[in-house]
Amino acid sequence: MSSMKQLAYWKTYFTPNRFSNDLIPNQTGKVAIVTGANTGLGYATMVALAGHGAHVLLACRNKERALHAIEKAKQDIKDKYPQGPIPNLEFLELDLNDMSQCKKAANEFLDKGLPLHLLVNNSGIMTTPFALSADGIEQQFAVNHMGHFIFTTALLDRIKESQPSRIVVLSSHSHERPVEGGIDFDTLNDEKMSTIVSRYGRSKLANVLFGKALARRLADTQVYVNIVHPGFVATELQRHNKDLFGPFVLGILGAITACMAMTPEVGALTQLYVATSPEIENKDLRGRYFVPIANEIQPSAYAQDEALQEKLWAFSEKL
């Protein structure tokens, strides 16, 4: 794998896939939380984990959509894994746009008395119009980073108690296109100091910085933290692109997506690799950044800056 570390992420589309659904080990007895599990990559991840025996909690904002996803998943799991276990799926209300609700969601899980072997921070928004969260924080940063920061750290003691355990942080190659300086802590909420694209890049850079800082804090444990860029995947994440590009360009992008984008089932393989593969523990691959499909590369220079990682951590704790 070491030969892949400097390979540009897009070149990994032309390398052999290093993981498949068939390589997922038996997850019986494991408890997992997948944020945003009602659709897209989160749904595909939830189906694969539950189909291999895990008890999966769908951490979602919309209860109705989550319950619908559970019913659909039960049939999908039956079809894909006819000899598999009866799916054990459960809804957990989580609104990443509201910091107090994120803490409440974590406490609701802790009150169940369950272990937590796997947390997949999958949910996110992309290229949304400028808005502030319920707490007055720029929304893409709030949802993609702050919500998961609070939810994860509130669950951390339980994750440690359940070790060996894992935390998967979804980022994006867009982390290489943040605002100047990486993260503009002093002007985070100033719309004029960023664009729709740079705000998304900033939030995805925050994901990598958080994952790296968290992995360092857990270096002496059997909690393995990894960061993932799933690749070009056809999901609902692109639903706001109309506001960014307009209907004509959006139509062209839609055609490109239909021809070239991975399905969520294929796109989810990278996060399933870091979530389940024995290699992560056997080779101690904690803190690494993986791209399609299960190839390791180095993230951007900003993302590897330990001073910036610690600055973000302190800023997030203060918020």
Residue type, 252: I
Question: Of all helices (H) and strands (E), which one includes residue 59?
Answer: strand 55-60
Q: Whose structure tokens read 């400097």?
A: 6
The DSSP bridge partners found for residue 57 are 33, 90
Query: Shortest CA distance to 41 belongs to which of 197, 206, 232, 285?
Result: 232
How would you classify the pairing of strands 55-60 and 31-35? parallel
Catalytic choice (9, 200, 224, 302): 200
Q: How far apart are CA 304 and CA 213, in angstroms?
A: 10
Task: Tell the burial category of 319 from Cβ atoms under 10 Å away from its Cβ (0-12, 13-18, 19+).
Answer: middle
Q: How far apart are CA 181 and CA 76, in angstroms?
A: 45
| 13 annotated active-site | no
CA 246 to chain centre: 28
Q: What contacts 38, CB < 8 A, 6 or more positions away?
A: 58, 60, 62, 65, 66, 68, 69
Q: How far apart are CA 142 and CA 150, in angstroms?
A: 10
For residue 147, give Cα distances in angstroms to 78, 103, 138.
33, 9, 12
Q: Which residues are the active-site residues?
A: 200
